[in-house]
Structure 1
Amino acid sequence: MDASQNNVDKMPNLVKWPERISYAASDFACNLSFGMISNFLMFFYTDAFGISAAACGTLFLVARIVDAFDGPFWGICIDHTHTRWGKSRPYWLWFSIPYAIFCVLVFTTPHLSLEGKLVWAYITYIGVDILYSAVNIPITSVLPNLTNNPNERVTLSTIRQFFGTAGGTIVSVAALPMVNAFGHGDEQKGFFYTALILAIIGCLLLLNTFANTRERVQTASSKKALPIKTSLKALKHNWPWAVIIFINFIYWLGMQTRNQVTIYFFKYNMHAAWLTSIMLGLQMAALITVAITPWCSKKFGKRNTMLTGMLTAIAGQFVMYLGSKTLNVGIIIAANIIVNLGTGLVSGLIAVMLADAVDYGEWRNGVRAEGIVTSFSSFSAKFGMGIGGAITGWILNWGGYVANHAQSASALNAISINYVWVPMVGFALSALALLFYKVDSFEGQMQSDLRAKHARENKED
């Protein structure tokens, strides 16, 4: 292990700070705009647009079925792309503006019948989901081509996660005050103008990422379009990929359930809706552990670092259970801080481990397919978030939730189940899956073999 790490340490650092910041800005942009959707769209639908919780749950599930196709579709497109800008970067140029438009449309409230509202919600939500994949998948697929230095990848992913967490925190804290400020009591108007401003900022940042990043790791396969059948060979016996895709699914299922029900918990269980922004703002605590992720990863390994994060998040959810039973604000604040400290060690490493899976697919199967391997990251995350959204809606409906009314005991219990137990189960299953991740033990040898392979291929070209 020490010898492998020494080989890694000798590899050059190819990415300068301006490019690091430009790359990280992509995740800031996505979390700023899509964070608005993931945190507040269900509340917008039920309490502002007039769609039932059960209908929302079904909508989120249907959108995830569509994701079963759109994620791999974009991945295949990336593997077939060969331009002077690279394979992944062009997607920010081509799709950032359409994505921004749909980020606004999804919070637009035309005067329609209930059936018309559902049709509008289906079209705009599925549309924004598809376009989100078009701009988000390249953030992960471009990472293996920015640098082949594993430590630099961790650094890039950490900076990206730092910016992404900052973007998510900003929208969590600022969204509801912005809605109130722009709406003056009209939530529909407030949500529209808030979404418009965030979409414009996100679009400009994605275009900046396109302009200021470079795909510098060039291999024989990256210089040409890969047939679908060839791309799929990269997944054969790619167990690191399978483990991380499962973790990405179940982790984001729990996180989505927790985040989107936060506003319900504090509005109805705590009778203090104003606390929502503060609690979501505690995501800033994750910045502490995000900042130390490169050091922890280098010293203890990526698997052990992420496992520590999962176990910390589980402990935080147990403290959350104690707080939800007593409705003690202090305990709930402490629980949120603990959970966010744990998740700070998780989110940034998912992209790094997927980049490792790209390398593993090439090392074992001889096929480097950045698009198809990393596209399942977006699919699995959004599928998890969608199932989490569906679970939230169905549990709320089971509990008898009625928007904008005092809730029954069963409805309050349904909110607590979503806020406490679903995320805890997600974190626990993710921790269990990590026990099967073994890349850290042979990463140095894998990178050494791949550098020799790339040198031979480039010489032959």
Structure 2
Amino acid sequence: MTALAKEKKPKEINTHPNRIGIKEAAGYTIAEAGNMFNLTYISGYLKLFMTDVLKIPAAWAGIMLIVTRLWDCINDPIWGAMVAKKPPVKDGKFRPYLKWVSVPLGVSTVLCFLPYHKLTSNTVILFVIALVAYTFYGMMYTGMNIPFGSLASVITDDPKGRTLLSTFRSIGSGVGGAVVSLLAPMLIYTVRLDGSGNPMLDPQTGKVIEDADGNKMFIFGLVMGILSVIFYLWGYKTTKERVPSAPDPKFDFKATYMGLLKSRPFVTVALAGVLISGQLQFNSFNAYLYKNYFLNTGLGTIGTICNYLPMVIFVLLTPKLVERFGKKELCGNFSVIAAGASVLIAVLANNKTFLNFIDPVNGRLPAWIFMVSLLLIGFGYTFVSLTCWAVVMDVIDYQEYKTGIRNESAVYAVYTFSRKLGQTIADGLGLFLLQWADYSGDTYGFVEGTSQKIMLICTVIPAVVYTGVWLLMKFGYPLDRERLKPIYAFIREKRENESLLTQENPLV
């Protein structure tokens, strides 16, 4: 080595007092995976269970979802206020809910898939039972999601640690969602048999026809419910609350929520939450597309791989990329790819000239083109998925920076409701559109007119949603990398002052 050789740059050491490591982030990841076992199965397959197993008309199922969301308008803010006002216990303020609510939530998932049709064939009774079960699930999901989401903001206030938590939460979300999305298509269907016990074939393609099996769906739901409880308890055991979080006995319900609605960062994130969760929910309608257009339910597994592969590629790079470029910058610049790909597939999949060119025999979109579009959308959407929870934590910090008051529970209550609202709009709209497409629980194989309408539904709606997410993150959300710097500095200084005050006077 010569004197002119460059000195090796010393490795930067994180000295933040509330820094966290991989082990704790992994515990939070496991709890999120358990969360997604419930959410993905309910979101992806409850509609199919209602329409194809319970034989509830699609429009009725849509009405049920609207009714439950109307109840959530009352339920979610109440949960948020309860969590905000409850004083911390020995294990913290938010962490104990992983222990308290995990079992009721797991039970509620199982109740949604009980084979009630074996007890009665009355559609009204089945509708009421399904409504009660799903409402109970929604209440328990809120009771878990508000404190679980708030937990991330009190595990650490280190920006790097929060990005790590958000990234690992996205890993848990991806793994939990992928487990359900990969396994369910292989395990919940049964081949339809004719009167002689032979597999029924689609008259146009000769492919075997498959139906949703109520017994298999119940067993799968039972397994997911049990695993979710185990994973939540694992997260409870492996996490720790470091950032002080005191109860707010003077919680002003109206002032708090009205203040959030006047915050541009929060409103933008809430609107994005409606679209993000709505599209995640709407992806479940691809099950009808695979079953009644492509005639291959196994495509659900391939589609899941296409959605999650970009996330797997970028997940370890995300913290460094966020540190260098910023969350808003990555989300805004990459989500345009998802918007462009979704618009392109919506145009191609519903253009008769293109379909007759690419498939002169049947005039249908080849499955491989649809899979490629999912891969491109996943690539463009990956940073929105990986950083969305870190963005919410930035909004919480922004609210504290502007008002001096930290209301994690209120922010997560409204954000949770916005995500539920997105899910409801997606489900309700999708189910009403299925009714418009003349789909019923007895529809099987490729049905002229109906199958094309399902393709229209499953491509045009995502094109609108992904374009909306891009516009919000690129032009609506204001907290870019530079604007966050003074907020982070304010929060850190405030925490240090609070810590010093506590040390000087432990009774404060």
Normalising by the residue count of structure 2, what TM-score does the alignment of the two structures yield? 0.83
Contact preservation (8 Å) 1:293, 1:305: no
The two structures, once aligned, show a CA RMSD in angstroms of: 2.4
Which residue of structure 2 aligns with residue 379 of structure 1?
417
Larger radius of gyration: 2
Q: State the match for 2:103 in structure 1.
A: 97
2:22 is matched with 17
Cα distance in 1 for residues equivalent to 2:239 and 2:14: 23
Distance in 2 separating the partners of 1:293 and 1:100:
32
CA drift of 1:49 comes to 1.4
Deviates further, 111-120 or 394-403? 394-403
Structure 1 pair 283/226, CA: closer, same or farther in 2 (3 Å)?
Answer: farther
1:225 corresponds to: 248
One-letter amino acid of the structure 1 residue matched with residue 485 of structure 2: G
What is the deviation of 1:147? 0.9
| Amino acid corresponding to residue 492 of structure 2 in structure 1 | R
State how far apart, in whole Å, the 1-side matches of 2:421 and 2:258 are. Answer: 23
Q: Is the 8 A contact 2:264 2:478 kept in 1?
A: no
Q: Which residue of 2 aligns with 1:200?
A: 226
* 1:394 partner amino acid: F
In structure 2, distance between residues paired with 1:316 and 1:129? 33
In structure 1, C-alpha distance between the alignment counterparts of 2:412 and 2:123, rounded to whole Å:
38
Q: Which residue of 1 aligns with 2:49?
A: 44
Change (3 A) 1:124 1:236: closer
Over the matched positions of the two proteins, sequence identity in percent amounts to 24
Q: In 2, Cα distance between the equivalents of 1:402 and 1:352? A: 41
Deviates more, 1:99-108 or 1:148-157: 148-157
Give the 3 Å change call, closer, same or farther, for CA 9–459 of structure 1 in structure 2: closer
The whole-number CA distance in structure 2 between the counterparts of 1:149 and 1:52 is: 50
Alignment-derived partner of residue 151 in structure 2: 142
Deviation of residue 280 (structure 1)? Answer: 2.6
Q: Deviations over 1:378-429 (max 9, x none)?
A: 2111110111000001111112212232565442233123211111111111
- State the one-letter code of the partner of 1:216: R
Inter-partner Cα distance in structure 2 for 1:456 and 1:236: 30
Q: Which residue of 2 aligns with 1:341?
A: 379
Offset of residue 450 of structure 1: 2.1
Q: Quick one: distance in 2 between partners of 1:359 and 1:348? A: 19
Q: Residue 442 of structure 2 aligns to a residue in which SS?
A: coil
2:289, 2:212 → 1: CA distance? 22
Relative to structure 1, the CA distance from residue 335 to residue 13 in structure 2 (aligned partners, 3 Å threshold; closer, same or farther) is farther
- In the alignment, which of 463, 472, 477 is matched to residue 437 of structure 1? 477
Which residue is equivalent to 2:235?
A: 209
Q: 1:252 aligns with which of 273, 277, 283?
A: 277
**Structure 1 range deviating more: 136-145 or 159-168:** 136-145
Q: 1:284 aligned to 2:308?
A: yes
Letter in 2 for 1:304: E
Aligned to 1:439, what secondary structure does the other structure show?
coil
Q: CA deviation at 1:234?
A: 5.9
Task: Show CA shifts across 1:334-388 (max 9, x none).
Answer: 1111112222211232211111111111111111011001222221111101110
The AA in structure 2 aligned to 1:87 is K
Residue 294 (structure 1) aligns with = 319
* Contact 1:158–1:348 (CA under 8 A) maintained in structure 2: yes
Could you tell me which residue of structure 2 aligns to residue 267 of structure 1?
Answer: 291
- State the 1:12 CA deviation: 5.0
Greater helix content: 1
Structure 1 residue corresponding to 2:264, chosen from 212, 223, 239:
239
- Listed one character per residue, the Cα deviations across residues 130-160 of structure 1 (whole Å, up to 9, x for unaligned) are 1111122223211111111112111111011
Q: What does the per-residue CA deviation read over 1:34-88, in whole Å, with 9 as the maximum and x for residues that have no partner? A: 2111111111111111111111111112222222222222222221122122121
Matched-pair contact (CA < 8 Å) for 2:433–2:457 = yes
Match of 1:365 among 387, 403, 417: 403
**Contact 1:234–1:362 (CA under 8 A) maintained in structure 2:** no
Say whether residues 1:160 and 2:169 are aligned partners: yes
TM-score by length of 1: 0.92
- How many residue pairs end up in the alignment? 451
Q: Relative to structure 1, is the Cα distance of residues 376 and 232 closer, same or farther in structure 2, using a 3 angstrom cutoff?
A: closer
After superposition, the C-alpha distances for 1:165-208 in whole angstroms (9 at most, x for unaligned) are 01111110101322248x99881110111100111011110011
CA separation of 1:34 and 1:205: change in aligned 2, threshold 3 A: same
Given residue 337 of structure 2, which amino acid in structure 1 is its aligned partner? Answer: T
Aligned-partner residue type, residue 476 of structure 2: F
Match of 2:127 among 110, 118, 121: 118
Q: Which residue of 1 aligns with 2:435?
A: 397
- Show the counterpart of 1:411: 450
CA contact (8 A) 1:254 1:425 kept: no
| Equivalent position SS for 2:101 | helix
Between 1:154-163 and 1:341-350, the stretch displaced more is: 341-350
8 Å contact from structure 1 (residues 309, 345) kept in 2: yes
Evaluate the alpha carbon distance shift between residue 226 and residue 288 of structure 1 in structure 2; reply closer, same or farther with a 3 A threshold.
farther
Among 186, 211, 214, which residue is 1:188 paired with? 214
Change (3 A) 1:457 1:121: same
Aligned residues of 1:401 and 1:408 also touching (Cα < 8 A): no
Instruction: Kindly state the Cα deviation for residue 456 of structure 1 after the two structures are TM-superposed.
Output: 3.0
